[in-house]
Structures are given as structure tokens and as C-alpha cells.
Chains A and B, each alone.
Chain A
Amino acid sequence: MAPDLDAVSEADLAAKTGTLAAWLRANAPVAIGYSGGVDSAYLAVTARQTLGAGGALAIIGRSASYPAEQWQTARDVAQRFDVTVLELDTAELDDPRYAANPSNRCYYCKTELWSRLVPVARARGFATVIDGTNADDLSDYRPGAQAAREHRVASPLAELGFTKLHIRHASRALGIPTWEQPSSPCLSSRLPYGTEVTRGRLRQVELAEAALRRLGIAGDLRVRFHDDLARVELAPAELSTWLAPERMAVLTEAVLEAGFARVALDLRGFRSGSLNVLHGVSAA
């Protein structure tokens, strides 16, 4: 379902984008932790347009938990808006504290990301490092935010009160194609806490989601890993369609092809942080 951008007033948005531009100028030059998701794409393009080519550097941390499709989007957006990109490999899966998949897994991932990215950015003269955390993120369980604070990474979108809707609205105004892209957290978020994160499991999830995208599922989508079982979450409006026998069979085969033995369709549909709820980390 398309986001309801009418819920954001033009005046509110103009005020917010103005304060963001001022913030960026006051803290220039900036390096952005860049994934090609809705938030970091908006931030990178805005920084580039506000500060010029030399004032903004978008840095991508690549690993097995970062979907190839997302990387392609990140590159496409950067090319289209002339954002300078630097890519680094990160190795969070080699950290046993991350691989064990505790509820604060994101802390170890972001610690790895920022411990590699921040020194590189500073060595290139980018004293300010920023990420795309937004105001909505502050209400969910986000242990990765602690790692950002420890590495003095700023989150101007959250700081200035940008919600996801603000960001989508402003992205559309700038012509950034990610404005209607579903949220896209890392692949490890599909594994329940306590289930070891391995490259093989991440690949299974990535293949299954890519196969479902090829079937035409464009909106919110998650393939949640439950050992032998893949639990598919779709946008609620899509459920009736995919519960029709012929569509169900196509969906099932696509997910089985990725290496799962069983496929289930969640009857509530997609919800952000679903596994947090399932494991009692946040409220149902």
C-alpha cells in the first residue's frame, strides 16, 4: 500500500527540510553511513545537494547481511544524484557475539560498521559522520543506536523530528526513487534471536525474498526464518490474493526453491519488528 503522504503538511515539511539543510551546513563536510534504504538515500542526496560534491561522502558497509538488491539500489541512487560513494567490507558474521544472534545483535553489527567506517571517514577529512536513523526508530528497540553514540555518529533526521512519512514525502519531492520503497532492514532481522546467523541462512532468506519479488510482490515483504519453516509476511492488503490456491502454489514453490522445507503465510501480514514481538522484546 502506498504511504499516505497527505498526512504530512507542506509547511511542516518545508520547515524540516530547512532545518536539515542548516544542520548539514553547520556540520559539513559529512560522511553518511549509506545503505540505499529510504532514510540514508534521502540523507545522502540532501547532503550532496546542500554541500556540493566535496561536502558529502556516502559510505556503504558490505557484508552477507546486506542484500545484493539493496546494494544495487544504493549504487543507482548515488549515480543518479552524483553522490560520491566509498565501499567497505564489514565482517560482523565473524564476531561470535553477533553470530549468536542475541537481542542486541544490532549493537555488534553497528559496532563493526562504525569502527571501520568512522576512522576511514575522518582520515579523508570528514569529521562528521551521520546515519539515517529517523524519529520513528526511536520508539522501537534499536540497540544499534548505542553503537552509533559510542562512535559519535549523529542522527540528524531523528534529532530534527523527521518521521518516515516526512522522509518519503521529501524524497518524492526530490525525485529519489526510494520514496515508496518498503523499509529494508538487514537480512539478519529475519532470524529469531538465538538462532545462529550464518551466511547460508542469510542467503536462503535473500533468495526467497528475491524470488517473491520476481513474482510481482512490490510492497512490504519479509521471509522469517524458523529453521525448516519460512514464514512469509506480506502487506495485509495482499493476503487475500495470495491465499487463492493457484497463487499460493506459486508462492510456495518459489520459497521452497530457496532451500526451505516448509512454507507458511502469516495471517496478520507484515509488521515491522515482528520477531521482537514473537520473542517478547517489544509489545504485540
Chain B
Amino acid sequence: MTPNDVRGDRSARNGVALAAALAMRGIECALEVRGALALLLPKPESVAALQVDENRRAVLALAKEHGFTHVAIELPSERRRSSTPPPDAPVLRD
């Protein structure tokens, strides 16, 4: 997965730069931009890191720096797994 794994609306916010900044911080994830919402699709180890308050605060600060007002992580689901590529699979782009 690379910081270029960004899909969705890329016009107003810098999702590519945010994904790169998160990776530098050790949070590896694909990122879907939905307006001012950055939707993270993290690897399992990155989800574990997000259980730590300090890491969440860092993610929120980075997201704000890159123009996002909201950050959420998509929760993995057995039910969705059959129809959705895992976070480290190639991601569709608009």
C-alpha cells in the first residue's frame, strides 16, 4: 500500500498528503476522501495503534492540517469482506 491509495473526492483536501503523513506516523491505511471527511481503511496493526488516545489525537491533528474536519476508520466486517477489497488491495480512483 502506498500513500497514493486515495479514492473519492480529491478536489478540496489533500488526501494523498494526509495518507503519507499518517504512514510516517506508523498508521498505514488506504484513505477515501468524502468531502471534509477522511475515511481511513487501516491495516489491523494500525487499528490497534488507534486504541491509544495519543495516536488518535495525532491523527486528528494531521487531518486538520490537511483540511479535514472529520476522520473515521472503516470497521472491518466479515459480511462485507466478500464484496470489498481488503485495505491493502489496489483501490479504485475517481
Q: Do A and B come from one complex?
A: yes
Task: Let me know if A226 and B51 touch, CB within 8 A.
Answer: no
Chain A contacts for B36, CB-based, 8 A = 277-280
22 contacts between A and B (CB under 8 A): A226-B37, A231-B37, A239-B53, A243-B51, A245-B47, A248-B47, A249-B75, A249-B76, A249-B77, A256-B79, A256-B80, A262-B77, A263-B75, A264-B39, A264-B75, A268-B56, A277-B70, A278-B36, A278-B37, A278-B69, A280-B36, A284-B69
Chain B contacts for A261, CB-based, 8 A = 80
Q: Which chain B residues numbered 45 to 94 have a C-beta less than 8 Å away from chain A?
A: 47, 50-53, 56, 59-60, 64, 69-80
In the complex where A239-B56, A248-B75, A251-B75 touch, is A268 in contact with B70 (Cβ < 8 A)?
A: yes
In the complex where A267-B59, A277-B70 touch, is A284 in contact with B64 (Cβ < 8 A)?
A: yes
Task: Let me know if A244 and B51 touch, CB within 8 A.
Answer: yes
Which of B's residues lie within 8 Å of A, judged by CB? 34-37, 39-40, 44, 47, 50-53, 56, 59-60, 64, 69-80
Q: CA of A18 to CA of B78 in the docked complex: distance in angstroms? A: 57
Known: A249-B76, A266-B71, A268-B60. 18 other contacts (CB 8 A): A229-B34, A229-B39, A239-B53, A240-B51, A243-B50, A243-B51, A244-B51, A249-B77, A251-B75, A256-B77, A264-B75, A265-B72, A265-B73, A267-B50, A268-B56, A274-B70, A277-B69, A278-B35
Chain A interface secondary structure, helix, strand, loop or mixed? mixed
A253 proximal to B (CB < 8 A): yes
Q: Min CB distance, A19 to chain B, in Å?
A: 39
Q: Min CB distance, B9 to chain A, in Å?
A: 12
In the complex where A231-B72, A252-B75 touch, is A267 in contact with B47 (Cβ < 8 A)?
A: no
Task: Let me know if A267 and B73 touch, CB within 8 A.
Answer: yes
